[in-house]
Each structure stands twice: as C-alpha cells, then as structure tokens.
C-alpha cells in the first residue's frame, strides 16, 4: 500500500543518474575482473535483459501479456545474420543489417499490433496472437532452406570486430541506455497512459484516447528494441538458431519478468540476468532440477506475490512504490478551447429517432425518439430494466448494434467508436466511478486532457492545465488538496467527483451521467447537483442524467423523460411528469404502461 503521509522524494533527479553511472562503471570493469565464461554468459544475459524490459513495458505496465517478443528478437538476429551471410560483410552491409534488424521487426510489429488491437478486442486475443506469431516465424525459419540455415541456423558469418570484452561492454551499454530510456518513458506523462490503459481501458477510450492506435505503436516500437537486441545477439554469439525465435523462449522472457517483478524496470533486468546466469552455471550439474525449481518458484510467485521479487524487496525494505516522483502538482485554469458553433441553442446536440436495441428476441429499447439542445438538463427515469443505461450506451458507443437514427451535432454516430464520439463533444460518466486506481488524482485529470494536449514522452509535468469549469469542480470538492494522492485512497464520493471533473475536463458539449449520485451522502449530492446546474445554465452544456432519486431529479432537471419496459412513455417538464398519473402507476403500481 502507498503511505499517504509519505513525502515524495525527487528520486528521478538524483538516484537514477547515480544508478546508471554505477552500472556503467560495473560494465566497464566487468571484463577485467570476470573470467571468460562469466563474461560470455553475462553478455547474453544482458541482451536478454533488454528483452525483459520490453516484455515488462507491455505486460507489467500496459497489461498486454505477450509471448511474441522472442519472435521480434529472432527476426532481428536473423536479419543481421542473413545480411552478413548472403549479402555482404562490408561496414556498409553491417549498417544495412542493423537497419533491417530494427526496421523489419517494427513493420511486423505494426502488423501484429493491427491484428491484436482493435475496438473491443480482448486481452486474451492479443496474447493468442503473440503466441501464434513466434510459432509462424519459427516454422518459416525451418522452411527457409539455405537462407535461414533451416534447423541448424546460421553460423560462421562475419561479426563486428570486437573482442569478448568489447561485446560485454556494448551489451551492457545498450542495456543501460535502454533501461534509462524505459525508466524515463514510464515516468513521463505518456508513460502514465500505459498504466491508465492497464487499469481501465474503457475509461481511456471514453476520454477520447485511441488506445488501439497507441498500443499498436507501442508494439511496433518495442518490436524495434527487440530487433536491436537480436542484432546484438547475432554479433555477440556468432550464431542464430530457430530456438531464438520460438514461443518457448517467449515464455521464458515472461517468467523472468514475472519473477523479477512486473511493473518495475529494475526487477525484470535483475530477473533476466540472475536467472539466465544462474541457469548457465547450474545447468551443468543440476539441469532438470534447476528448471524444476525455477518453474515451481514461478507458479508460487504468480499465485502468492504477483508483483515478483521487486514487490517482496520493497515490502521488506519498506519503500513505497511511489506512483509519481513529483514534488507537488499545481492546478492551472486555462481558457476553454475555442469551438466552432459552440452554442447554437436551436439545434439539437443529440438527436435520436426510432432507436431500437434488442438482445436476441428480447427488446431492450423500442421506438425511442429524443432530442436534447444546448443548456438542457434532461433526466431519464424509470424502473429497473427500463433500458436507461442501454440508451446511454447506444448514444456513446456507435459500434453497439442498434436500429434507428443516432446523431450527435448533426453527424450520425453509427459505427463510431467511443473515442470518436468523445471527439464530437460527448462526455460520459459511468454509474460506478470509472477512474484509474493506480494513478494519482493529478494524473487522472491529465489523462482527460491528453486527447487535447498531447503528452510528453520525456517529462512528467508539474502543472496541470484544466479548463475553468473542471478546475472549479476540483476546488469545490477539495480534490485540489489531494492531487498527489493515489486514487485508490479516495473515498467513493471523491472518486465520483474526480470522474465528473475528468469528464468536464474534456470540455464536452453534452454530458451523459449514469447515476452520478448513487451511494453519495446528502451534502455530496447537493454539491453535484449544483455543479450540474451551473454547467448547463451558465456554460450551455447539455446533460442527460439517469437517476433513481426522484427528489434530486425534481430539483435540478429542466425536462424529464420516463422510460418503461424499453419504451419512452413520457417526455415533459418537471411539473408535467411529477403530476402524471401514468408515472405514479409505473412507480407504485408496477402495471403495464
């Protein structure tokens, strides 16, 4: 658990350079003090550690369990060896080998990413693709004839003119550079997006972020890094073999990452180097027993300590894994972005005609007509199962199959993904507060601005630019005092407020709110009600609110729409609906409408 009272230390600015410098010294003197065998094995281990970092960024940070990094590594190694064997070994050809070793995996990474990630793709499917890919690559290598050397691989090609110690230093240097780059990346604003995707991908796409595209790019970049590792390996070892591309090697990478500690950069490095080096030393004497122990340890670790050795160490040492290494964040209100045709009160922001949605033979919604203009606060009421949440889903996710017309700002949203619809100006707040539990309050709010202000890949910002309306919610609810706190420490009401602030930070023209006050205390409900009223009345935002608490509805709505058994039975002013006999029978009698 994160300790809320702990003061943040500027770990980034002091410890990281010191650690990197120390590691550089160790790498430089390593070949002098170690014997040949150790230098040889550790060179390989450090290259594997580079791969473990890529697996960790994908799996530990972004939540994508992958077995495919081995294939990208193998492709890089084979590209290097094939160029050296069949094309030429002049320096220019070496350079060509290097370019191909990085570029080929990147291109294939785009392909694999495109296959794996699309709207509503499942994490399991991405893992399946990452499993199939290395198998295909291995089989292609086997059937490559003289080009790939088939099952015996390629050997005897010209390598870089470096001694054993030189390769050790090269591998160590690359490892340190990549580790530092990875460290900076995961701590940057863009890196937080990885964690946000892992925590709650749905929320990301409802913040207007195209997560599929981000994951495809990430896959391609890390495929390039794996290809670079393959290049190093092909030169350092002087031999490439089909096993280097296989999914079994891919699973080993995952095992090392898991044992070292997913979601940390150092853990997987130490896991890869430690296990590979130990196994090289012990496999002579206890070949099977050693693997047995690693396997058993892995199983126990997954079940009992999913965080790996890194989690055990930090727990024992009492170091909190600090989600932000920033001293403190300040909020800065910014003017709303200019918007063409911002308030045209006569036009409907959202228009629904004859909307129907059914699951099999069960009709959830039938013949719904509804349009909402700027500045209106429309409450959607009705008993359980009336179709209120389904209606919200239909207007915020165009990929959901339904019949009839659905338009936002005059554009049909059919087949548009939630992130496309957010770009049209629709923000959605979910029933259960949908935020990012592993991030801080400030980072959550920053995610909401990411589609508008592109994030930095290098830096972690210390200021937080929010539109004034969102800033007001943050201040009113006291969240401005909690910007550095982890979201997991917030109360239920604070999370609801945070989500509302995030949605408002999108500067939507239309806000969809699904029971924003469920489980809140009376003062909290009053405050949320006030915020909604000022958003609609002062800023001209339109809001559709699903709500059970009819007292609350009566206080804040400008219009009430009643749904019953999938049909719109009433649409009128607060007075009309409250005094309607129909509504009374819907609520107290439970009879057919």
Q: At closest approach, how far in Å is the CB of 442 from other proteins?
A: 20
Confirm or reject binding of residue 573 to other proteins (CB under 8 A).
no
Among 153-161, 284-292, 349-357, 397-405, the segment contacting other proteins (CB under 8 A): 284-292
Residue 376, C-beta contacts closer than 8 angstroms, at least 6 positions apart? 536, 542, 543, 558, 559
Task: Rule CB under 8 A: say whether 591 interacts with other proteins.
Answer: yes
Is residue 289 within the footprint of other proteins (CB under 8 A)? Answer: yes
Asked if 122 touches other proteins (CB under 8 A), the answer is yes
Distances (CA, A) of 245 to 217, 252, 366, 374, 481: 21, 12, 54, 57, 51
- Region for 394 from its dihedrals, namely left if φ exceeds 0, alpha if ψ lies in -120 to 50, beta otherwise: alpha
What are the CA-CA distances from residue 277 to residues 8, 35, 295 (Å)?
35, 13, 16
Per DSSP, 8 falls in state P
- Please tell me the distance from the alpha carbon of residue 488 to that of residue 443, in angstroms, as a whole number: 13
Q: What is the DSSP letter of 486?
A: B
Measured in whole angstroms, the distance separating CA 216 from the mean position of its chain's CA atoms is 12
Work out whether 61 is an interface residue with other proteins (CB under 8 A).
no
Residue 330 pairs with which residues in a beta bridge? 463
Give the nearest distance from C-beta 296 to other proteins in angstroms. Answer: 5
Q: Which is nearer to other proteins, 7 or 361 (CB)?
A: 361
Q: Count other Cβ atoms within 10 Å, centred on residue 379.
A: 24
Contact with other proteins (CB under 8 A) among 515, 559, 568, 570: 515
Q: Count of residues binding other proteins (CB under 8 A)?
A: 63
Q: Are 461 and 518 contacting, i.e. CB atoms less than 8 angstroms apart?
A: no
The answer to the question of residue 3 lying near other proteins (CB under 8 A) is no
Choose between 407 and 497: whose C-beta lies nearer to other proteins: 497
CB of 567 to other proteins, least distance (A): 13
459 in contact with other proteins (CB under 8 A): no
**Closest-CA residue to 488 (of 137, 105, 133, 200):** 200
- Residue 142 binds other proteins, judged by CB under 8 A: yes
345-374: contacts with other proteins (CB under 8 A): 360-361
Label residue 252 exposed, middle or buried (CB < 10 Å: 0-12, 13-18, 19+): buried
Q: For other proteins, give the closer residue by CB, 189 or 515.
A: 515
Residue at token pair 């863009």: 190
303 binds other proteins per the rule CB under 8 A: yes
Closer Cβ to other proteins, 147 or 458, answer by number: 147
115 near other proteins, rule: CB under 8 A: yes
Q: How far is the CB of 119 from other proteins (least distance, A)?
A: 11
Asked whether 503 and 427 are in contact (CB, 8 A), the reply is: yes
| Residue 202 sits in the site that holds other proteins (CB under 8 A) | no
Question: Is 584 among the residues that bind other proteins (CB under 8 A)?
Answer: yes
Figure out which of the listed residues 46, 129, 223, 350 binds other proteins, where binding follows CB under 8 A: 129
* DSSP for residue 424: T
Q: Which of 233, 247, 249, 436 binds other proteins (CB under 8 A)?
A: 247
Report which of 244, 237, 234 is spatially closest to residue 81, judged by C-alpha positions: 234
Position 40 contacts other proteins (CB under 8 A): no
Can you list the alpha helix ranges (DSSP code H) found in 450-542? 468-476, 492-505, 522-539
Q: Does 125 bind other proteins (CB under 8 A)?
A: yes
Please give the residue ranges that form the binding site for other proteins (CB under 8 A): 65, 115, 120-125, 127-129, 131-132, 135-136, 139, 142-143, 247-248, 251, 254-255, 258, 288-289, 291-292, 294-296, 298-299, 302-303, 306, 360-361, 383-385, 432, 491-492, 495, 515, 518-519, 548-550, 554, 565, 577-578, 583-584, 587-592
């Amino acid at each position: 658990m994160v300790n809320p009272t702990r003061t943040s230390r500027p770990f980034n600015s002091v410890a990281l350079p010191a650690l990197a410098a120390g590691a550089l010294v160790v790498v430089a003197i390593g070949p002098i003090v170690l014997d040949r065998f150790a230098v040889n094995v550790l060179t390989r281990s450090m290259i594997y550690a580079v791969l473990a970092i890529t697996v960790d960024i994908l799996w530990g940070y972004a939540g994508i369990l992958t077995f495919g990094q081995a294939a990208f590594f193998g492709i890089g190694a084979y590209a290097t060896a094939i160029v050296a064997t069949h094309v030429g070994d002049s320096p220019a050809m070496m350079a060509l080998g290097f370019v191909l070793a990085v570029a080929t995996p990147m291109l294939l990474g785009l392909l694999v990413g495109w296959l794996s990630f699309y709207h509503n793709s499942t994490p399991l499917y991405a893992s399946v693709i990452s499993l199939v890919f290395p198998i295909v690559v291995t089989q292609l290598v086997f059937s490559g004839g003289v080009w790939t050397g088939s099952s015996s691989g390629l050997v005897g090609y010209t390598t870089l003119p470096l001694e054993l110690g030189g390769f050790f230093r090269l591998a160590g240097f690359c490892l340190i550079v990549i580790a530092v780059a990875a460290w900076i990346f995961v701590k940057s604003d863009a890196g937080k997006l990885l964690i946000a995707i892992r925590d709650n991908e749905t929320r990301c796409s409802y913040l207007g972020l195209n997560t599929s595209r981000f994951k495809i790019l990430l896959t391609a970049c890390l495929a390039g890094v794996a290809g670079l590792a393959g290049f190093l390996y092909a030169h350092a070892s002087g031999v490439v073999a089909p096993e280097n591309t296989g999914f079994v090697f891919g699973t080993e990478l995952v095992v090392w990452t898991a044992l070292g500690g997913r979601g940390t950069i150092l853990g997987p490095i130490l896991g890869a180097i430690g296990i590979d080096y130990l196994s090289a030393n012990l496999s002579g004497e206890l070949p099977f027993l050693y693997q047995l122990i690693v396997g058993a340890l892995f199983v126990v670790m997954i079940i009992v300590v999913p965080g790996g050795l890194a989690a055990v160490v930090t727990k024992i040492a009492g170091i909190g894994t600090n989600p932000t290494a920033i001293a403190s964040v300040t909020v800065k209100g910014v003017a709303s972005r200019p918007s063409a045709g911002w308030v045209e009160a006569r036009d409907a922001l959202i228009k629904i005609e004859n909307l129907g949605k059914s699951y099999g033979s069960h009709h959830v919604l039938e013949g719904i007509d509804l349009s909402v203009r700027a500045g209106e606060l429309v409450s959607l009421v009705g008993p359980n199962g009336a179709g209120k949440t389904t209606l919200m889903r239909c207007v915020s996710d165009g990929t959901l199959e339904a019949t009839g017309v659905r338009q936002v700002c005059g554009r049909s949203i059919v087949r548009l993904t939630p992130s496309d619809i957010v770009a049209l100006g629709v923000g959605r707040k979910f029933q259960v507060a949908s935020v990012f539990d592993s991030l801080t309050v400030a980072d959550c709010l920053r995610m909401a601005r990411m589609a508008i202000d592109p994030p930095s890949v290098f830096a972690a910002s210390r200021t937080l630019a929010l539109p004034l309306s969102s800033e007001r919610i943050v201040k009113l609810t006291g969240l401005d005092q909690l910007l550095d706190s982890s979201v997991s420490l917030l109360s239920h009401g604070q999370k609801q407020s945070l989500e509302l602030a995030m949605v408002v930070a999108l500067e939507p023209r239309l806000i969809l709110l699904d029971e924003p006050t469920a489980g809140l205390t009376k003062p909290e409900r009053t405050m949320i009600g006030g915020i909604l009223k000022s958003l609609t009345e002062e800023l001209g935002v339109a809001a559709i609110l699903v709500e059970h608490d009819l007292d609350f509805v009566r206080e804040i709505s400008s219009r009430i729409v009643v749904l019953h058994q999938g049909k719109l039975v009433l649409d009128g002013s607060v007075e009309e609906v409250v005094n309607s006999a129909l509504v009374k029978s819907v609520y107290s009698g439970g009879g057919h409408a």
